[in-house]
Amino acid sequence: MTVAAKNIPITVFRTPSEMQAWSRDRRREGKTIGCVPTMGALHDGHLSLIRASAAGCDETIVTIFVNPTQFGPDEDLGKYPRDEASDLKLAVAAGATSAYCPAVEVMYPENSSVHVVEVNISTGLCGESRPFHFRGVTTVVSKLFNACLPDRAYFGMKDYQQLLVLRRMVRDLDFLLEIVGCPIVREPDGLAMSSRNKYLTDKARVDALCLRKGLDIAEQAFENGIRDPKVIGEMVRDSIKQVESAEIDYIECRDAEDLSEIETIENPAVVALAVTIGKTRLIDNTVLSPDKERKDV
């Protein structure tokens, strides 16, 4: 059943068939559709994606679904922040024109037994410490695409590996849509916006700045001409290690297009890191681009 959210001027769809019917109607009218998949707990990072979609498409669907299949058994599924009404208000103010918010039983009917798995880009970095995470992401995003039928889908570059995995999925499975990667949105002091920042205590919030500081060091080293990814990685590690509460999961400098390991930085490379501060696992990254350097000269 289609439900108009109480006092919020947006129509919320709860089932794939209703969502598809709405999108098909819009397409018949010749409208373009943007989709912004989220797990709710919207912050300025999500809102920047909704604004980008609203600027580039006639209609913007925000999806809100806390996807159980991308959480590991010891992760924060149970306590993940949920406030649909407040998320919908924010989404409408940023330009969303409809919302898709299915229940878990609708997304995963009993006996669901099909997964979408990417087997290359998804294996290292976050894929190593969160073994089923990307399988959960690719499966749910495929289902969101099949329900929303978008022309474009917007994802933040903070989840850099996710962005590349989804691009590869769209290419390899011939989804008829374009993935648009949008810049990381940061707090004024540099911390990348994330729904998980809410878990940080005051002290952890200060300690969390070591991620951005580490990336600043990587950028500086690159500007100073260092091209060895291992040397850059070690410099970042030395800096983050100075923060006692920081537990490093990984710091990697890899090829920016497919995350393959590199000997030297000749093409754009990404420095990606995952660090747990207290109990909160945070990720961040920066892209080092030799081309950009050449352009500036």
Binding positions for ligand PAF, rule: CB under 6 A: 37-39, 67, 70, 137, 140-141, 159, 162
Query: Least Å distance between CB 140 and ligand PAF?
Result: 5
CB 164 to ligand PAF: min, Å: 13
Q: From the CB of 153, what's the least distance to ligand PAF, in Å?
A: 9
158 versus 254: smaller Cβ distance to ligand PAF: 158
* Residue whose CB is less far from ligand PAF, 50 or 140: 140
* CA 137 vs CA 110, 117, 131, 273: distances in Å: 19, 9, 12, 19
133 an active-site residue?
no
Least Å from the CB of residue 1 to ligand PAF: 23
Nearer to ligand PAF, 61 or 137 (CB): 137
CA 255 to chain centre: 19
| Shorter beta-carbon distance to ligand PAF: residue 19 or 218 | 19
Q: Are 131 and 66 in contact (CB under 8 A)?
A: no
Min dist CB 273 to ligand PAF, Å, is: 17
The residue (of 69 and 123) whose beta carbon lies closer to ligand PAF is 69
Catalytic-role residue among 43, 46, 115, 133: 46
Distance, in Å, from the CA atom of 228 to the CA atom of 233, rounded to the nearest integer, reads 9
Beta partners for residue 180, in sequence order: 154
Task: Determine contact, residues 95/48, Cβ cutoff 8 Å.
Answer: no
| 3-state SS, one letter per residue, for the chain | CCEECCCCCCEEECCHHHHHHHHHHHHHCCCCEEEEEECCCCCHHHHHHHHHHHHHCCEEEEEECCCHHHCCCCCCCCCCCCCHHHHHHHHHHHCCCEEECCCHHHHCCCCCCCCCCCCCCCCCCHHHHCCCHHHHHHHHHHHHHHHHCCCEEEEECCCHHHHHHHHHHHHHCCCCCEEEEECCCECCCCCECCHHHHHCCHHHHHHCHHHHHHHHHHHHHHHCCCCCHHHHHHHHHHHHHCCCCEEEEEEEEEECCCCCECCCCCCCEEEEEEEEECCEEEEEEEEECHHHHHHHC
Q: How far is the CB of 48 from ligand PAF (least distance, A)?
A: 13
- Specify the residue, 39 or 192, whose C-beta has the smaller distance to ligand PAF: 39
Active-site residue numbers? 46
